[in-house]
Amino acid sequence: MLVTSSGSGSRSESGLGSGIVEAENVQRLRGVFALLLTPFELDGRIDWEAYDRYVDWQLAAQTQGLFAVCGSSEMGCLSLEERLQLAARAVERAGEVPVIATANVGQETENHKEELLQLAETGVSGVVLVPPEGMGRDQSRLEAYFASLADASPIPVLLYECPIYRPHLVEPDVYGRLVKNNGIIGIKDTTCTLEGIGAKRAAAPGSIVYQANTPYMLESIRSGCGGIMAITSTAAADLVLKLWTLASAGDQDAAGVHERLVFLDAVLGNGFTASAKYAVAQQGISMNVTTRTGKSLSASEARAIDVWLESAKADRNQRLSAGG
């Protein structure tokens, strides 16, 4: 849906308009967005059959959406063609479920507009922008960069404070102006503080601020954050969704679910994404633990994941036997 512009911002004719956060887009992109891993063959090629199985498994968790081409996808180690294929395949399998993907991963910033437009053609519901390496040192320059891409985008735009690229944080006032003047509808916050999320929500009250940090997830939901994009969703999206649902309803059982997710977050640890791939495989979705980032999994780390999965299974069986 196109909207008219107000204020000093501007959009191209193919853009979404500026000065307004579209309620329809915001509502559709709220909630839990499960992060997607990229399975690899032992020789490093993408295992497309495993990816399709994994996307279907993630969809079965019935989260509000999927985030393809993200940090958990090892996006910095993927070619443009691979990123586009990952997004397109996720969209094809997701049907009406929204899929978002990062649109400015290439090293040359002058190519990012074309990269964004190509990604939009895959059918994703929104594009995600990250701060390019080093640009965050000059927040005015970063703001102008994001504004230019947002104005050129034919679909909704989100920001992501991706820690792969440093410095990665976006100042709250910069974020607020981008929402107001350029139609950006949300941001994945990685300050890992309640204060950081609160500052962005205060700067742009109508936007979506997603929590990436699992230890503060419960408090963030209770305080009104608009969604969740956390690494725990790569291997336990159903549990993240359960926390979102319970905490949003004020249910006291949310605390127990949150505790289990915090343990999983710690177990995934330094071996992520190899650890998450192992956890997924142990739940019946066959994939190698191969990564392109160089991350690997020790026997001790694998055993910790096994213990967590055994505990989660026992807890699930106990609740089923109790009729819960």
pLDDT of residue 7: 33
55 dihedral zone (left: phi>0; alpha: psi -120 to 50; beta): alpha
Q: Which structure tokens are listed for 14?
A: 């193919």
pLDDT of residue 19: 40
> What is the separation of C-alpha 208 from the centre of its chain, rounded to a whole number of angstroms?
12
With a CB cutoff of 8 Å and minimum separation 6, the contacts of 158 are 29, 100, 126, 127, 128, 129, 184, 185, 186, 187, 188, 208
34 dihedral zone (left: phi>0; alpha: psi -120 to 50; beta): beta
With a CB cutoff of 8 Å and minimum separation 6, the contacts of 116 are 103, 104, 127, 129, 149, 152, 153
Q: Which of 187, 86, 176 is nearest to 129 (CA)?
A: 187
Residues in the chain, pLDDT under 50: 1-21
pLDDT of residue 323: 62
pLDDT of residue 2: 27
Separation of first and last alpha carbons in the chain: 42
- The owner of tokens 């009250």 is 205
Domains in the chain, ordered, with CATH?
23-250 (3.20.20.70)
β-sheet bridge partners, residue 286: none
Name residue 18's amino acid.
S
3-state secondary structure of 208: strand
Total number of residues shown for the chain:
324
pLDDT of residue 6: 31
Question: What is the value of pTM for the model shown?
Answer: 0.92
Cα–Cα distance for residue pair 128/101, rounded to 1 Å:
6
- The owner of tokens 């853009």 is 15
